[in-house]
Amino acid sequence: MLTRRQLLSSGALASSLGALGLPHTAQASDERPWNLLVISSDEHNARFFGHRGHPVSTPNLDRLAGQGLSLDRVYTSSPICAPTRASFLTGLWPQEHQQLNNSSILDPGHYTMSSFFTELGYDTACFGKLHTNADESRESFGFRELLTSKSGQRWEEISKARSDNSAGPAWRDPVDEVTLTGPFRRMLGRVQPRIGQNRDHVLLEESRSWLEQDRDKPFFLYSSFLTPHYPFTLPEDFYHLYDPAKIELPDPVDLAELTARSPAAAASLARCGWSKADPKQSRTALARYMGCVSFLDHLVGELMDSLEASGQAERTLIVYASDHGDQAAEQGLWLKSVMFDGACRKPVILRMPGVLEAGSRSCAPVNEVDLLPTLAGLMGLGGQLPLAEISGRSQADLLLAEGGVEPGLEHLADLLPRQRAYSHLGFSHAQPWTSLVATERFKLTRTTDDTGRVTSRELYDLDEDPAERTSLADRGEYTALIEELEGGLDEHLAGLREPPFAHRKLSKEGPESVASL
């Protein structure tokens, strides 16, 4: 891990994404527009990387991190699939885009990341999960080409043509079938004799074919994989990659202690049935989850190799990001929909050759809604982004000084804007019943009832207690800090725009397209 001095000298301690690099630097050596490749996954716990010391094998993601910048403290707008994906796509908070849960529908009229790049003349395509719940056979959400499992007949035809079923049908592991019972039943997947039977592999092949096309325009490709989301359906080599008997589980949680510390999490533990899980079930589920992460890593490696073969890698900003995390047995919990970092923190890696320092890391808290404008800023396109359409704001211009930072300026962090990240879960009309606010060191979670009355608070010192096992909320010496954080949270909530949020549909090319620059 970088020291504080190294973070300062490399610019990685700047507020939010302010240390990613000078926007003009991206265009300094080559005036060609930058391409953008976004590789998305589903429920990837931010700790599950080989380069972070986890026993899971992720050589390709480790390689990507070694070539780019890892953002360690990006918080999802909401630890649920659909709301957070909509926030990444639109730069709006869930309360603003109104896709509040996994069954609500994202209005296709919203301004999107894909609308932005399509309007600028980019070739744009999405292969994989969007989770808009709209009819994605008719609504493109700004992409020139869109292929998802919700694309109707087109998906059925492509999936059938791509799938390799020559080795016979997938099957269920007989041991797992009797082990993964109760709440773990939803995780039970199938063993696929051929990698070509896997849905994500079909999407990989579509992405690779698209990258191989000759084009005279810059591109934005969004490859969105389902793995490591349950059920754990995997090619055979990955399904049995990890032996459940050798899996080490996180420290167990005492239900009474968790109830006193985090009533909302304890309620989830009891409601979902995780409190009744035995170690064999948890080890089996964790082994299969790790197999999914390693399969994801394989997909990422194949896509990176295809980008290299296309000759476009040196002019492409690669973004790896999950939609949110998975508790993966941390705090005795699984899946998402809780406010611990396992679910709320999303791994993000940015690779931009010659702009972002290879192998660097930032511990600054980052809001998901800021990613869209920040990526545009890094690519030198921030000035063309209609800020009135989004709530996120680019952090790419919050630089220390052109030419770098003089090492040893330990007071520098005090001179920077105080960046905070937020996340919300569980909506009753416009009022979230649980919210978090995170600084570089502390994280406050506040739970309210439907009337807005605070029912519990949790405060964690993430420097001293990264596993979030000791809440400081009842300690008098932290009263002032809690009041300050809550004041910022209330101000943030008050600043959200009331729905319905005005939006518009865009033409496919604007008058100042990048392709014509």
- pLDDT tens for each residue of 309-320: 999 999 999 999
- pLDDT tens for each residue of 173-188: 999 999 999 999 999 9
Per the structure, how many domains does the chain have? 1
For residue 16, pLDDT over 70 is answered with no
Domain containing 71 — which CATH number?
A: 3.40.720.10
Mean pLDDT, the chain, rounded, equals 84
Task: Residue 207: name the closest of 268, 281, 125 by CA.
Answer: 125
Could you tell me if residue 479 is inside a domain?
no
pLDDT at 126: 94
The amino acid present at 460, given as its one-letter code, is Y
For residue 497, pLDDT over 60 is answered with yes
Could you tell me if residue 403 is inside a domain?
no
Could you tell me if residue 400 is inside a domain?
no
Could you tell me if residue 429 is inside a domain?
no
Higher-scoring residue by pLDDT: 382, 23: 382
User: What pLDDT band is residue 506 in, cutting at 50, 70 and 90?
Assistant: very low
Largest separation between any pair of C-alpha atoms in the chain? 66
Spatial separation of the C-alpha atoms in residues 162 and 201, rounded to whole Å: 9
User: What pLDDT band is residue 397 in, cutting at 50, 70 and 90?
Assistant: low
User: What pLDDT band is residue 264 in, cutting at 50, 70 and 90?
Assistant: confident
pLDDT-wise least confident of 147-151, 404-408, 421-425, 500-504: 404-408
Which segments within 107-206 are labelled E, that is strand? 123-128, 145-147, 191-192
pLDDT at 344: 96
Token pair for residue 313? 């890698």
- pLDDT tens for each residue of 32-54: 899 999 999 999 999 999 999 99
User: What pLDDT band is residue 415 in, cutting at 50, 70 and 90?
Assistant: very low
Task: Residue 286: name the closest of 12, 2, 55, 24 by CA.
Answer: 55
Could you tell me if residue 447 is inside a domain?
no
Spatial separation of the C-alpha atoms in residues 297 and 62, rounded to whole Å: 9
Q: How confident is the model over 47-66, as a mean pLDDT?
A: 97
Higher-scoring residue by pLDDT: 191, 71: 191
Which H or E run contains 376?
helix 371-378
Spatial separation of the C-alpha atoms in residues 193 and 204, rounded to whole Å: 18
Q: Among 67-76, 286-295, 379-388, 474-483, name the most confident range.
A: 286-295
Q: Among 68-77, 287-296, 429-438, name the most confident range.
A: 287-296
- pLDDT tens for each residue of 94-107: 988 888 888 888 88
Q: How confident is the model over 467-479, as a mean pLDDT?
A: 94
pLDDT at 394: 81
* Partners of residue 435 on adjacent β-strands: 424, 446
Could you tell me if residue 348 is inside a domain?
yes
pLDDT at 253: 87
Q: Domain range spanning residue 257? A: 33-385
Could you tell me if residue 353 is inside a domain?
yes
pLDDT at 150: 81
The amino acid present at 35, given as its one-letter code, is N
Could you tell me if residue 368 is inside a domain?
yes
For residue 203, pLDDT over 70 is answered with yes
Helix (H, G, I), strand (E, B) or coil at 486: helix
User: What pLDDT band is residue 418 in, cutting at 50, 70 and 90?
Assistant: low
Q: Among 53-57, 331-335, 362-366, name the most confident range.
A: 53-57
